[in-house]
Every structure is written in C-alpha cells, then in structure tokens.
Structure 1
Amino acid sequence: MKTKVNLGIDVLFNKIYRVKEKKNLAVVCGGFSNEKVISGQSADVVIQSLKGSDYNIFKVWIDENQWSLLHEDQTLPIDKNDFSASTKDGKLNFDGVFNTIHGTPGENGILQGYFDLLKIPYNNCGVYASSITFNKGACNRLLRHFGVKSANSYLLKSDETYSEEKILERVGLPCFVKPNASGSSLGISRVNDAPELKAAIDHAFIEDDLVIIEEFLPGTEITCGVVERDGKPKALAVTEIVVEKEFFDYEAKYHHKGTQEITPARISKEDYEACMRLTEQIYTWLDCQGIVRADYILNEKGIFLIEVNTTPGLSSASLVPQMAVYAGYTLEEFFSEEVELLLNRH
C-alpha cells in the first residue's frame, strides 16, 4: 500500500513526464508598433488551432513595457536572459517559438537575432530575410536584380529636405505614400493631386523614419502565400483583392464589408501559375523560412511586386489562413506542420 508521500511522488513524476512528453511552444505576439492588435488576433487563431496538438501552448506578450507570459489568468514576467518564466510549478523553458509579431521587433530581424543567440528555434525567416524584406525599398531593389518588376519609387528620410516637384517627376500622379517599414497598410495614403503630397508624407512619417513614394500601377491586386514543404517552397494559392475604397488600406483589410478576397483569383491560368512560381522563386532568392506572403499588381505589362511579408497576418480576417484552407489544409494541420518544421529546423 502506497503512502501519501509515495502517491505525491507518483503525481509529481507523472506531471513532469507529461510536460517532458509534450514540447513547450511559446506563441509570441504584441510588438512595438500599432500592429500589435492584429498580432494578438493572429496569436489567438494559432493557439486555438493548436489546442488539440501534441504541444503545450503558451501565449507570450511582448511590447515596449513588458515581456509577459499570459498563463492561467496570470501575467508572469519573462526572464529575458534565457526567455523563461517562473510559474507555480517551477521554471518554464520553451522548446520553440511561433512568432506572430507584425512590425518591430518580430518582423525586422531583431527578435530573430535574440532567439538565435539563445538557440531557441522559431517559425519564420532568419535575421537576413526578415530585415531585408521589412525594408520595402531595399527588398524591391534587390529583387530587381533577379528580374522582378516593381513600381518606380522615391525614398525619403525624415530629416531630409525634399522637393515635391522632383518626387512627382519620378513617380507621377496618382501615387502612393507609405512607411518604408510597416505593415497592415498602416500610414499609407493615395495622392491624387500635388497639394496632397506633403500631408501624405507627414502621415507616413508617423509610422516610420523612412518613407517610400511609389507610382500608381493600374491593374488587379493579387497576393500569394508560400510555405516550405519537403525542403522546397510551396505556393498555397493566389487571392484576388477587390476593394470599394481607393486601395487596400487597414480599414479595407480588417473592417470594410465591401472588400472581397477571392480565392482562387479570377485571372488566367497562365498568370495564376506565373504568380505561384514567382512567389516560390522569391522565397528561395531571399532565403525565406516559414509562412510568407507576397503582394502584387497584375496588368498587361506583367506581375509587379508590391512587397514581401515574412510575418503575415494569421487572424480570422487575414489572407493566409484562407489560402491554407483552399489548399486543402485544416488550420490545425497547417500550423502543426509549421511547428514540426520549426522544431526540426534549428
């Protein structure tokens, strides 16, 4: 007959064994930008999808003020020295990280460098691919060397004196003004008349110290998600974006009922396949990992790259989950495969 002490040891042993049997995964969200709300929604979708998986799932919030584990109605501080947390059951270490932070520090390589130093594997691109794709101007210039088309543009620093006339000579009207390093279409304006340009530039500088002004490209807006499977990039689907507003801004993406996201895109079979293959090539050229989405304009002159997103939105209103379902995945299957890849990648 077992004593209470023996029974207590058995319970403790079983508890430790179960924790060791299941790997601990931190789903990291938040960030330092205005995209933290979307990041939190993305994390919730991932966590909900992985509830029945073979992992212990924990939500970690990172912002300018705190790094916290949100666990059992408690907010516990994260020790940045080793990315751990102290719980009532002892020290909690993580076997891997599923990063859903849009913007800095999760999309621009900063957090990736931190996890690399700690040798904690994560789901998305490494430092190089994250930092280069976060800089829209630099990324598009790099990809032009591979023959990827993109709009004519003008790059502007916040402390730089500029001539509105010279800008418009290069990009023409209408044009788009956007933060060079931001997502979810925050800070973007369409400029139809020259007097509107300065206000649009000032608006973009609220989000970033570097602003890119791009020529307007008429055509169909399309986007393509891509992941890694069997060691190779695999495009998921091409989605067509149709908006009632002038362009696909934050409001149109997440709140406007007139926005249509049509999968598969209503384009020719040849253009559809060309977009899929181009997205896979970009994934390879930039040495990407994890889930990536590339946005384009399609017109009679070809496929023009808008930008590459290495931490795309995964909320219920986001594009990649829709593409994954169209490609034949359940979200549980889709995210579970990503977790398996990240745990075996590093």
Structure 2
Amino acid sequence: MKKIAVIMGGFSKESDISLKSGEVVYKNLCRNKFEPYKVFIFKEKWFMIDEKEKEYPIQKDFSVLINNKNIKFDCIFNVIHGTPGEDGILQAYFELLKIPYTGCNFYHSNMTFNKKYCSSLLKNFGINTPLSFFLNKNETFSEEKILKKIGMPCFVKPSKSGSSLGISKVYEKKHFYRAIKIAFKEDEEIIIESFIEGKEISVGVFSFKNEVIVLPITEIISKNDFFDFESKYSGKSQEITPARLLPNIVNKIQKTAKKVYKILNLSGISRSEYIIVNNEPYFLEINTIPGLSKESIFPKQLKIAGISLSDLFNDLIYDSINKMKNKYL
C-alpha cells in the first residue's frame, strides 16, 4: 500500500482551518489502497502522530523514524492553506526531494497565491478583473491619485493572504490609511481594488480522470459587509448550490473558470471567486488548496456533482505519483 503523508497546519492564521481539512482527507483515504499518516507542519516543529497521539519528528529528507524503522512517503497530500503549503515553498522542497505531492507545482502555486501577479496575468488573456492599484510596503503614494483611479468604496487587500485575512472595505477617505496599515500587517505587497456590485459566486474546478471538471456553482450571500473570515467560517453567510443563475450565464461562467484554470496551468483542485456584473463574470481570486472541512464550499459542490471525496483523493494521489515518475524517468 502507498504511504501517504497528509500534511496540515502551516504558518498562517489559516492553520486551524487546515487542521480541519486535513482530518477530512485522512478519514476519506481508502484504507485498501493507502496507508495514511497525519503530519503537522508548524513554525516551531514538524512531526507525525500515530493513532496513540505519539509524536515522531520529521527528518530533513521528509521521512520519519518509527521503532528504528525509517518510513518514507510515496506521496504528500498537501492540505496546508496559506504559507508554506499554498505559496510554493513546500512544493519546491518536495521537488528537490523528488517526492510526489498533490496540487500544482511551486511556480504556479506561488503565482496564484499572489493576487497581484495572478490578476495581472489573467487580465492580459482577456479575463475581466476589477480596477486595481498595487502598492509595496514603505513605498510613497498619493491617496488622491489612487482613489481617483479606483473610486469609493474600495477594497484594500494583502496580495498574499487567504481566507480574507487583512482585507478591509473602505467607504470614506479618512479610513483608507488605516486599511492600508491592516493589509500591510499580513503582507509587504497590497492590492487596492474598486468595488463592483453584483452577485458573488464560487467555482470549484479540478482535473479528474484526465479531464478539467467545473463543479456546480455556489452563490454566496454574506450577512456581513463582504465575504470575510467570519462569513466563511462562523456561519455568517448563506451559500446556495447550485447558484440561482440562468443557463446561459452558468455556461459563460463555466467557460471562464475552465479558461482561467488552463491559463494558469493548474493541476489538482481549485476554487475561484467571481462577481457577476451585467451577466459578465469578474475574477477576484483563486485558491489552489481550498478548504475541505464540512463547512467548506468545495466538498458541498462535489457532493452535488456526485463525486465522492474518496474517489477524488484517489485520483489526485495517483496522478501526482505518475507526474513525478514521468518527470524523472
């Protein structure tokens, strides 16, 4: 049986969400094909636990010593939201070690995790995006110039952050500088985006049995001012799947979501967010390691599509193993 390390945790505030997602993956891996191990990656330490909750440190070659026997993993199932699992850091490490891992490679992970680079690239391929302005930490800037271009209200976001952490919606100029300070606490690059009013949706896309699949679309209605961290994880939003959209709009969104997936050269699972304005989808961001907990959108979309978590995970693992094998033949 293939030994699978389900890695979870991470260095960001999304760590608790990652732990929930990791439990879902661990429980849904087929025991007839896989021997799963829970591996926790935190700033302080990396370790594996057994069924008795005993800890075993992870070694430099990402193996673990149990009862004087060195265990090496056949594949890494990456469920770390945020850094270092979603921004390419761990992917580059596993590439050096030639250990197969789920999801996209280090380059595409890093690019999609950075909203600045991702939206700029997609814009060049004709994908609709909100008006934006990029700002680096310690860079001098003119509030007047930015707000004249972007308008009010606007969003101020960290360029590299997930789960809506560090995002502010700004209605008045007097609150603009404070929003910038909040965003810079999360990242050294920020993006200031125009507010566009419309229906917010979330679209799951992934490769399954050598085909790019677009899942049923989810409509998001936040009880807060926007789809923030509280809305996502504290039940402060209504999520309707499938979304209440006309068939021609659904078709347009599916084509756009698939196009984005292919432009970014992704693999594995993803979930992207859009705003529908005048029947046109505007891309907001993409998540290449979406939440897989019971509260998460992606598993709910899978269920409606009639695809089991076990079947999907099975396909992701074997696809990852084959890719690594073919790369180093």
Match of 1:58 in 2: 37
The reply to whether residue 139 of structure 1 matches residue 118 of structure 2 is yes
Whole-angstrom CA distance in 2 between matches of 1:53 and 1:35: 31
One-letter amino acid of the structure 2 residue matched with residue 105 of structure 1: P
The reply to whether residue 108 of structure 1 matches residue 87 of structure 2 is yes
1:239 to partner: Cα distance? 0.6
One-letter amino acid of the structure 2 residue matched with residue 191 of structure 1: V
Listed as ranges, the matches of 1:28-177 within 5 Å are: 28-50=7-29, 52-72=31-51, 73-80=53-60, 82-88=61-67, 90-177=69-156
Q: How many residues align?
A: 323
1:164 to partner: Cα distance? 1.5
Match of 1:247 in 2: 226
1:52 to partner: Cα distance? 3.9
One-letter amino acid of the structure 2 residue matched with residue 224 of structure 1: V
Please give the secondary structure, in 2, of the residue aligned with 1:295.
strand
Whole-angstrom CA distance in 2 between matches of 1:324 and 1:343: 23
Structure 2: unaligned runs, 5 residues or longer? 325-329
The reply to whether residue 314 of structure 1 matches residue 292 of structure 2 is yes
Whole-angstrom CA distance in 1 between matches of 2:208 and 2:291: 20
One-letter amino acid of the structure 1 residue matched with residue 225 of structure 2: E
**Residues 324 and 334, structure 1, Cα contact 8 Å, conserved in 2:** no
Whole-angstrom CA distance in 1 between matches of 2:76 and 2:232: 27
The reply to whether residue 209 of structure 1 matches residue 213 of structure 2 is no
Equivalent in 284, 291, 315 of residue 269 of structure 2: 291
**Residues 53 and 336, structure 1, Cα contact 8 Å, conserved in 2:** no
Whole-angstrom CA distance in 2 between matches of 1:89 and 1:226: 42
More displaced, 51-60 or 94-103? 51-60
* Higher Cα Rg, which structure: 1
Whole-angstrom CA distance in 1 between matches of 2:279 and 2:142: 30
More displaced, 329-338 or 102-111? 329-338
**Residues 155 and 213, structure 1, Cα contact 8 Å, conserved in 2:** yes
Match of 2:303 in 1: 325
Equivalent in 172, 178, 184 of residue 157 of structure 2: 178
Report sequence identity in percent.
Answer: 43
Seen in structure 2, the aligned counterparts of structure 1 residues 199 and 250 have a Cα distance that, compared at 3 Å, is same
Match of 1:16 in 2: none
Match of 2:327 in 1: none
Please give the secondary structure, in 2, of the residue aligned with 1:112.
helix
**Residues 222 and 240, structure 1, Cα contact 8 Å, conserved in 2:** yes
**Residues 175 and 191, structure 1, Cα contact 8 Å, conserved in 2:** yes
Whole-angstrom CA distance in 2 between matches of 1:145 and 1:241: 27
Whole-angstrom CA distance in 2 between matches of 1:89 and 1:52: 24
**Residues 237 and 276, structure 1, Cα contact 8 Å, conserved in 2:** no
Whole-angstrom CA distance in 1 between matches of 2:77 and 2:252: 30
Seen in structure 2, the aligned counterparts of structure 1 residues 89 and 329 have a Cα distance that, compared at 3 Å, is farther
Please give the secondary structure, in 2, of the residue aligned with 1:79.
coil
**Residues 271 and 288, structure 2, Cα contact 8 Å, conserved in 1:** yes
Please give the secondary structure, in 2, of the residue aligned with 1:41.
helix
- Cα-Cα RMSD: 1.3
Seen in structure 2, the aligned counterparts of structure 1 residues 169 and 209 have a Cα distance that, compared at 3 Å, is same
Whole-angstrom CA distance in 2 between matches of 1:315 and 1:181: 22
1:53 to partner: Cα distance? 4.7
1:230 to partner: Cα distance? 3.2
Match of 1:230 in 2: 209
The reply to whether residue 195 of structure 1 matches residue 174 of structure 2 is yes
Whole-angstrom CA distance in 1 between matches of 2:276 and 2:108: 25
**Residues 24 and 292, structure 2, Cα contact 8 Å, conserved in 1:** yes
In the superposition, the TM-score normalised over structure 2's length comes to 0.95
1:117 to partner: Cα distance? 0.8
1:301 to partner: Cα distance? 5.8
Please give the secondary structure, in 2, of the residue aligned with 1:149.
coil
Whole-angstrom CA distance in 2 between matches of 1:301 and 1:145: 21
Whole-angstrom CA distance in 2 between matches of 1:306 and 1:150: 7
**Residues 99 and 124, structure 1, Cα contact 8 Å, conserved in 2:** yes
One-letter amino acid of the structure 2 residue matched with residue 123 of structure 1: T
